[in-house]
Structure 1
Amino acid sequence: MTDDEYLEAQRKARAESVEFFRSSKKPERERWVVHEFLANLGVAFEDSEVQSLAQDPPDVKFREANFEIKEILSEGRRRHQEYKVGLQKALEATSPADLVEMYTPRDVAVFDVCASVYVDAKSLAQTKYSPEARKSLDLLFYVNLTDVSGLKETPFPDLAPVEALGWRPVSFLMRHRSCTLTAASDAPLFLRGALKRIVHRKVN
């Protein structure tokens, strides 16, 4: 690949990211989260089975699952603006070196991920979703933290406080990992199968 080809590929990819993270693309992003979550679990499915609903909750329907999708971002992160800035940088670049950025990947502990999940799940329970609604909703968090690539998978914290919030299950997606933290007895079987264990998708 020549320098010009590399720059053009970067411009195209960044423009696609800017488009994907527009507010109008929210249903598409929610379906993508469910796709990734299911793929990590090894669940075979057709794209047509993952459906956005005209009126939510839930955000996404998959078979007997009623997914309500939420996202955990690094504090203060403005992702759409971040991609716009990245696109502008690519448009102005004259060589690949102009796009080189320092990146120091770090790991996060599952204990900390669970703590963030609990804070957000509790806030949602207190401000937006009734106890009756929570009994039928499958809360799924997409954990998308800046500069984080790895997950320290042990030890798991006490999840009783999360369970007490009354969501049917609470799960999370983080890159190629999926996990169900809590699940009621009537939660979909494929969610209960990932209870308190982190399932990895094999990638090349």
Structure 2
Amino acid sequence: MDDSDYLRLLTIQAEQANAFLSNARKWERERWVCQRLLQGLNIPYRSEDFTPAGQEPPDVLFRDAAFEVFFVLDEGRRLNDEWREELQRRRSAFSLAQLVRREARPRRISAVELLGRLAPTLRKKAHNYRER
């Protein structure tokens, strides 16, 4: 595989990421999140075990369980903005060297900080469930 083939592959992967994060694939994405959770918990599953809920919430039904899936992003971030930008960057690149960039090292956060970030969304979700 030469550089142009690899560049083409990277562009295709960015296109796939954009499609996966789109509203059109919301159900597929939510099911995928539930599958990864079950995988981490060593709970076996089959694709047929998942069904979309008729009315949300919840997002995904799995056997007797009901899952509400949500993303908590840093302030000012939107779900697909970064991948849209990355797709444009890859489409306009003529070489792999143009795609090289230094990424910030991930920062560990404490459980208290994690809960602080989740709390507003969890309060909103709890309110929505109460109303329904």
Any idea what the Cα deviations from partners look like across 1:137-174, whole Å, max 9, x if unmatched? xxxxxxxxxxxxxxxxxxxxxxxxxxxxxxxxxxxxxx
Deviates more, 1:51-60 or 1:25-34: 51-60
State the alpha-carbon separation in 1 of the partners of residues 82 and 26 from structure 2: 17
Matched residue of 2:66: which SS?
strand
Which residue does 2:123 correspond to in 1?
Answer: 122
The answer to whether 1:113 aligns with 2:114 is yes
State the alpha-carbon separation in 2 of the partners of residues 11 and 50 from structure 1: 31
Any idea what the Cα deviations from partners look like across 1:74-124, whole Å, max 9, x if unmatched? 111123222111111111111111111221222222221122222211122
Superposed counterparts of 1:1-204, under 5 Å? 1-105=1-105, 106-126=107-127, 128-130=128-130
| Partner AA of 1:112 in structure 2 | E
Any idea what the Cα deviations from partners look like across 1:7-46, whole Å, max 9, x if unmatched? 0111000000111111121111111110111111111111
**Aligned residues of 1:57 and 1:68 also touching (Cα < 8 A):** yes
Higher relative contact order (CA 8 A, sep 6+): 2
**Aligned residues of 1:34 and 1:50 also touching (Cα < 8 A):** no
State the alpha-carbon separation in 2 of the partners of residues 35 and 117 from structure 1: 21
State the alpha-carbon separation in 2 of the partners of residues 100 and 19 from structure 1: 23
Matched residue of 2:122: which SS?
helix
State the alpha-carbon separation in 1 of the partners of residues 101 and 50 from structure 2: 36
State the alpha-carbon separation in 2 of the partners of residues 93 and 112 from structure 1: 38
State the alpha-carbon separation in 2 of the partners of residues 25 and 4 from structure 1: 29
**Aligned residues of 2:90 and 2:99 also touching (Cα < 8 A):** yes
Q: How high is the sequence identity, in percent, across the aligned residues?
A: 31
State the alpha-carbon separation in 2 of the partners of residues 117 and 64 from structure 1: 25
Structure 2 unaligned regions, length at least 5: none
Size of the aligned set, in residue pairs, is 131
**Aligned residues of 2:18 and 2:83 also touching (Cα < 8 A):** yes
**Aligned residues of 1:90 and 1:99 also touching (Cα < 8 A):** yes
TM-score, length of structure 1 as denominator length: 0.60
Please list every run of at least 4 consecutive aligned residues from structure 1 whose deviation after the TM superposition is greater than 6 angstroms.
none
| Partner AA of 1:120 in structure 2 | T
TM-score, length of structure 2 as denominator length: 0.89
Deviates more, 1:6-15 or 1:99-108: 99-108
